[in-house]
Amino acid sequence: MKTALDNLKGKSTKNSLKIIIIIAIALSLLVPFLNLSSFVIRMIIMVGIYIILGLSLNLVTGFAGQLSLGHAAFYAIGAYTSAILSTRFEMSFFITALMGALLAAFFGFLLGLPTLKLEGAYLAIVTLGFCEIVRIVALNWMGLTRGPMGIPGIPAPSIFGIDLGTEVGYYFLIYILAAATIITIYRIVNSRVGRAFIAIREDELAAQSMGINTTMYKVLAFTIAAFFAGLAGSFYAHYVTYIDPQSFTFDESIQILSIVILGGMGSIPGTIIGALILVTAPEFLRSLQDYRMVMYGAVLIIMMLTRPQGIMGASKTKIKRNKLASSKISNKGGE
């Protein structure tokens, strides 16, 4: 009886959730036609890029529990692959984006391999080192990346002869990419694979003893995350049309990690809100002039002091539920 009621309750919230999501989608489709200034559209597009970056890192750090400080590396690989392929071989955005994402995924796979042996701070250092290696390769491999000269004049994306290099074009492109990322990550997290990720995060040893191939899943997490980061990088390259190694420093990794932590580790809506806040805050605070970065830091500190689990930190409740479940099981076992 009780369980049926619970189910009913769950259904009604699920339904209202669906309605809200549908309304949100309908509203967001209207955005480019609301006569907003180009600046607002640009901010929304930047938020979109960081939603993809944040969500992909969240998969590794928030769900699989592996601290990565090198996410900007995959972002850079995607951006550079896309830029080089489109400027030298004149490939279209859809091919370069796919190639960029796949190459980033390949490097994610390679970086995932050492994680077999490392965890915690040691893993963080490896990813940090990887990020620096990518940046320095981009800086010094002149023949391929033009080094510090950067790659200017990356063409705007187009599809079937339709130029997407307009505000509306870019908006819908990033909209589709971000939506695809959200849906994919949501599906992954709520699947068997996602459960395995969470199990690894909560207790790797226990997960292993339950028969989860932790190695495989950790590498998988890195590969998927790198794929989406590479996709974001491709879009960024075609959007800003100029990239150089300075755009992909360690600071970029920290920015992405801040989005994940501020929004809440292991929370998809949290990451979206985190991206919204961290990307737009510097622009909101512009009126403070010299003090704006101080305020930006202060906002972050206050946020983390009042809500250390992040704005939508879901991990804690989940742990609680898990604990409850496990205690029930152990009680039963006692009987």
Q: Which of 246, 307, 325, 326 binds other proteins (CB under 8 A)?
A: 246
Q: State which of positions 145-184 bind other proteins (CB under 8 A).
A: 147-150, 152-153
Give 110 or 318: the residue with its C-beta nearer to other proteins. Answer: 318
Q: Does 292 bind other proteins (CB under 8 A)?
A: yes
* 287 touches 89 (CB < 8 A): no
Q: Does 269 bind other proteins (CB under 8 A)?
A: yes
Across 34-68, b (16+ Cβ under 10 Å) vs e yields eeeeeeebbbbbbbbbbbbbbbbbbbbbbbbbbbb
Give 98 or 295: the residue with its C-beta nearer to other proteins. Answer: 295
- Dist. CA 301–CA 149, nearest whole Å: 37
* 102 touches 231 (CB < 8 A): no
Q: Tell me how far, at minimum, the Cβ of 62 lies from other proteins, in Å.
A: 16
Q: Tell me how far, at minimum, the Cβ of 293 lies from other proteins, in Å.
A: 5
Q: Does 311 bind other proteins (CB under 8 A)?
A: yes
Q: Tell me how far, at minimum, the Cβ of 13 lies from other proteins, in Å.
A: 6
Tokens of 188: 């992954």
SS3 163: strand
Contact flags string 10-49 toward other proteins, x per CB under 8 A: ---x--xx--x---x-----------xxxxx-xx--x---
Q: Which of 113, 293, 302, 325 binds other proteins (CB under 8 A)?
A: 293
- Dist. CA 133–CA 128, nearest whole Å: 9
- Dist. CA 265–CA 278, nearest whole Å: 15
Picking from 47, 54, 51, 49, the residue whose alpha carbon sits closest to that of residue 260 is 54
- Dist. CA 63–CA 278, nearest whole Å: 21
Q: Tell me how far, at minimum, the Cβ of 121 lies from other proteins, in Å.
A: 24
Give 250 or 284: the residue with its C-beta nearer to other proteins. Answer: 284
- Dist. CA 124–CA 226, nearest whole Å: 16
Give 152 or 308: the residue with its C-beta nearer to other proteins. Answer: 152
Give 92 or 249: the residue with its C-beta nearer to other proteins. Answer: 249
Residue 160 makes CB contacts below 8 A (sequence gap 6+) with: none
- Strands 162-163 and 158-159, by their bridges, are antiparallel
Q: Which of 8, 162, 242, 308 binds other proteins (CB under 8 A)?
A: 242
Q: Tell me how far, at minimum, the Cβ of 76 lies from other proteins, in Å.
A: 13
Per DSSP, what are the bridge partners of residue 159? 162
Q: Does 241 bind other proteins (CB under 8 A)?
A: yes
Binding residues for other proteins, rule: CB under 8 A, are: 13, 16-17, 20, 24, 36-40, 42-43, 46, 136, 139-140, 142, 147-150, 152-153, 240-242, 244, 246-247, 269, 272-273, 276-277, 280, 282-284, 286-287, 289-290, 292-293, 311-312
